[in-house]
């Protein structure tokens, strides 16, 4: 066999696709540690150092790391791309972006975004009463917009109009026709002129996983007859001057730029028509949808996008200008509600591999008995390829023998050690065939699944349902990579499973440039040495949509900033404790004190019956009480 060429950190960067999905924010240093570059310059932070620092503060894994400076980078980039596009096109309007709170509501995230967006008058978008309450209080820049989307009751409308009274440029975007008469009535009662937008149900359908946000079957927005009706109602109420904005949102993670162009053109036509009908239109809000290239393939595959942020900005500006110029209508200011593209990159989920599940976990020594069952000899012959068969023939033979083994065992003709030996031989055959398959150019269809079947399962201390809900719910792919040992060649094909008691709690699809990988190459586990994995680009939607399956709950979290004066250094400004056992029990109507009391009763009874010593009983209760205040994940 040829000696394998040496493995370098460049190979690691290549294999894990850092250059493709990392947007210049991730690299591996010479010692094989994964580093983050918040500003894409020479300043780097080893993620391993952040873990160490977090642990020294008592925050164990799993851990969410937020790189706050990366939020700043993304906000700046989006605004600069639009500014440049506007300048290059000689566009007469302005760019007035807003951040949709639902994509990441965390106060520290919103604060950082607002701070970064100050010079751009970057605003906020909300879609529910609680989000509106955040927006109203957090919004301070009078030149920044607040956009209210979503279904609205009277309280929502009234609250938004309070914002209007406070002098905010706050738009009520009509989602449903029934909101129009209520907005009219409530604003009359409060004696305030509302700013009104209409959400259009475009005929341009979205594309990708969230395509059903738009198109004629969508649950959002007004059809063209409803737009005309809403406009007329406003006119009749003497509120023509209030209608100034149109809005659309074609769904999140739009993979194809053509969809965005088409939707922009269609919406601009609505804009021009409403202008002609005499409404003082001045804003087009193109919603969200700006993608994140999770697999780095730059394709219109659903986990990717075939355009850049720069191209997006240019196409939106260009298409609006084009339609307006043709129709001789003054161009509007442009609003976007990009959420995913702003926040996805800043957050990394760190988990530790705590165990492995392997088909060949036991080094099985065959029994020395003289009279071995003939089926064991048959399996051995297949393993040694005594009959010179093709891989496919051997696989078929092994499958047949395996079935016979199962039957013989069930009928009592094989004992447990014989069954164990047979199974071990069978898995060895499969392992061998999987290796042959991987090395070959062509693999028969039946053998294609073998590598996946034989891949080890690395058990990771986290919950897919809490931390990567979209992976489970909509097969969304997130890049995964080790955080250290990248200067060592990875030689274990693995899939990941979480610690929930749920077979769906797993990751067995991984990003790749072409296609999707069914396993990922990782490093062998070493005794007493932790092995850390990072899941990347998880800053959008995952935190808040995660759930309490198995009562694991929120993970620990640290917020990392680059140190201002020192090079290559960082500090953790905030840390947030994940849920304690007591907290998650509270969500399901238990009370820690009551549970402790119920335990005490049982301990007392056992002590009285002399089944345990009093001291033992006290220790049990102390432990119980202590674990109530502890974390829910495995302590490693």
CA angle, residues 367, 370, 372, in degrees to nearest 5:
65
Residue 296 binds to ligand PLP (criterion: CB under 6 A): no
Burial group, residue 503, by CB count within 10 angstroms (0-12, 13-18, 19+): exposed
Minimum gap (Å) between residue 541 Cβ and ligand PLP = 7
Give whichever of 296 and 339 is closer to ligand PLP, judged by the CB atom.
Answer: 339
Beta bridge partners, 67, equal 560
* 304 touches 254 (CB < 8 A): no
- What the block records as the tokens of 525 is 């586990």
Binding mask 489-528 for ligand PLP (x = CB under 6 A): ----------------------------------------
Residue 631 binds to ligand PLP (criterion: CB under 6 A): no
CB-based contacts of 174, cutoff 8 Å, min separation 6: 180, 183, 196, 197, 198, 199, 222, 230
Residue 337 binds to ligand PLP (criterion: CB under 6 A): yes
Residue 293 binds to ligand PLP (criterion: CB under 6 A): no
Residue 432 binds to ligand PLP (criterion: CB under 6 A): no
Count of residues of this chain found to bind ligand PLP when the rule CB under 6 A is applied: 17
The stretch among 248-256, 368-376, 379-387, 454-462 that binds ligand PLP (CB under 6 A) is 248-256
Residue 340 binds to ligand PLP (criterion: CB under 6 A): yes
From candidates 249, 346, 401, 506, binder to ligand PLP by CB under 6 A: 249
Give whichever of 43 and 249 is closer to ligand PLP, judged by the CB atom.
Answer: 249
From candidates 93, 255, 289, 479, binder to ligand PLP by CB under 6 A: 289
Give whichever of 17 and 288 is closer to ligand PLP, judged by the CB atom.
Answer: 288
Give whichever of 51 and 254 is closer to ligand PLP, judged by the CB atom.
Answer: 254
From candidates 44, 68, 214, 338, binder to ligand PLP by CB under 6 A: 338
* 99 touches 339 (CB < 8 A): yes
520-522/333-335 β-pairing: unpaired
Minimum gap (Å) between residue 223 Cβ and ligand PLP = 17
DSSP for 238-301, written as a single string: T-GGGEEEEE----SS---HHHHHHHHHHHHHHHHHHHHTT----EEE--S-----SSS--SSS
Residue 288 binds to ligand PLP (criterion: CB under 6 A): yes
Burial group, residue 411, by CB count within 10 angstroms (0-12, 13-18, 19+): exposed
From candidates 274, 290, 353, 522, binder to ligand PLP by CB under 6 A: 290
Binding mask 51-90 for ligand PLP (x = CB under 6 A): ----------------------------------------
Residues 101-160 that bind ligand PLP (CB under 6 A): 102-103, 127, 149
Phi, psi values for residue 494, rounded to 5°: -135, 155
Can you state the angle between helices 224-236 and 257-276, rounded to 10 degrees?
A: 30
Laid out side by side, the sheet with 34-36 consists of: 26-28, 34-36, 45-46
Interface residues with ligand PLP (CB under 6 A) are 100, 102-103, 127, 149, 249, 252-253, 287-290, 337-340, 540
């Amino acid at each position: 066999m040829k000696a394998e060429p040496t493995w370098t950190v460049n190979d690691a960067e290549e294999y894990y696709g850092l250059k493709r999905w990392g947007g210049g924010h991730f690299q591996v240093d010479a010692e094989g540690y994964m580093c983050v570059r918040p500003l894409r310059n020479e300043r780097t932070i080893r993620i391993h150092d952040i873990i160490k620092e977090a642990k020294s503060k008592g925050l164990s894994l799993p851990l969410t790391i937020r790189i706050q400076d990366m939020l700043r980078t993304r906000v700046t980039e989006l605004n600069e791309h639009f500014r440049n596009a506007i300048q290059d096109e000689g566009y007469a309007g302005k760019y007035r972006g807003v951040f949709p709170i639902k994509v990441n509501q965390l106060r520290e995230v919103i604060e950082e975004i607002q701070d970064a967006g100050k010079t751009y008058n970057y605003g906020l978008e909300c879609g529910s009463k609680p989000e509106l309450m955040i927006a109203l209080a957090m919004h301070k820049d009078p030149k920044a917009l607040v956009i209210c989307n979503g279904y609205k009751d009277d309280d929502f409308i009234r609250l938004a109009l309070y914002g209007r009274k406070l002098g905010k440029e706050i738009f009520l975007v009509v989602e449903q026709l029934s909101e129009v008469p209520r907005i009219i009535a409530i604003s009359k009662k409060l004696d305030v002129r509302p700013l009104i937008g209409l959400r259009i149900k475009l005929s341009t359908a979205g594309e990708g996983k969230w395509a059903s946000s738009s198109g004629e079957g969508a649950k959002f927005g007004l059809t063209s007859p409803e737009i005309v009706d809403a406009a007329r109602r406003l006119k009749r109420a003497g509120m023509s001057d209030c209608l100034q904005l149109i809005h659309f949102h074609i769904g999140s993670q739009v993979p194809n730029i053509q969809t965005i162009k088409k939707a922009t053109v269609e919406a601009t036509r609505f804009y021009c028509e409403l202008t002609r009908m005499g409404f003082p239109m001045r804003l087009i809000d193109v919603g969200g949808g700006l993608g994140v290239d999770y697999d780095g393939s730059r394709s219109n595959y659903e986990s990717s996008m075939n355009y850049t942020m720069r191209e997006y900005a240019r196409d939106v500006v260009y298409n609006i200008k084009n339609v307006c110029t043709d129709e001789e209508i003054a161009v509007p200011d442009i609003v976007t509600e990009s959420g995913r593209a702003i926040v996805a990159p800043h957050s990394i989920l760190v988990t530790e591999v705590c165990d492995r599940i392997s088909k060949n976990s036991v080094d099985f020594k065959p029994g020395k008995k003289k009279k071995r069952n003939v089926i064991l000899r048959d399996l051995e012959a297949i393993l040694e390829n005594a009959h010179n068969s093709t891989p496919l023939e051997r696989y078929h033979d092994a499958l047949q023998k395996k079935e016979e083994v199962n039957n013989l065992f069930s009928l009592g003709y094989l004992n447990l050690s014989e069954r164990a030996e047979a199974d071990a031989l069978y898995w060895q055959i499969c392992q061998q065939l999987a290796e042959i398959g991987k090395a070959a150019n062509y693999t028969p269809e039946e053998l294609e699944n073998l590598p996946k079947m034989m891949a080890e399962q690395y058990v990771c201390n986290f919950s897919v349902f809490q931390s990567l809900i979209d992976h489970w719910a909509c097969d969304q792919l997130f890049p995964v990579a080790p955080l250290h040992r990248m200067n060592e060649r990875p030689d274990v094909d693995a899939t990941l499973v979480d610690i929930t008691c749920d077979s769906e709690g797993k990751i067995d699809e991984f990003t790749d440039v072409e296609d999707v990988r069914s396993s990922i190459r990782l490093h062998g586990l070493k005794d007493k040495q932790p092995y850390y994995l990072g899941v990347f680009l998880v800053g959008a939607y995952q935190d808040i949509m995660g759930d309490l399956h198995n009562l694991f709950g929120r993970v620990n979290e640290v917020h990392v900033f680059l140190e201002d004066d020192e090079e290559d250094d960082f500090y953790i400004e905030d840390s947030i404790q994940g849920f304690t056992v007591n907290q998650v029990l509270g969500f399901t109507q238990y009370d820690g004190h009551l549970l402790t009391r119920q335990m005490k009763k049982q301990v007392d009874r056992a002590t009285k019956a002399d089944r345990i010593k009093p001291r033992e009983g006290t220790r049990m209760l102390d432990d119980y009480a202590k674990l109530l205040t502890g974390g829910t994940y495995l302590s490693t």
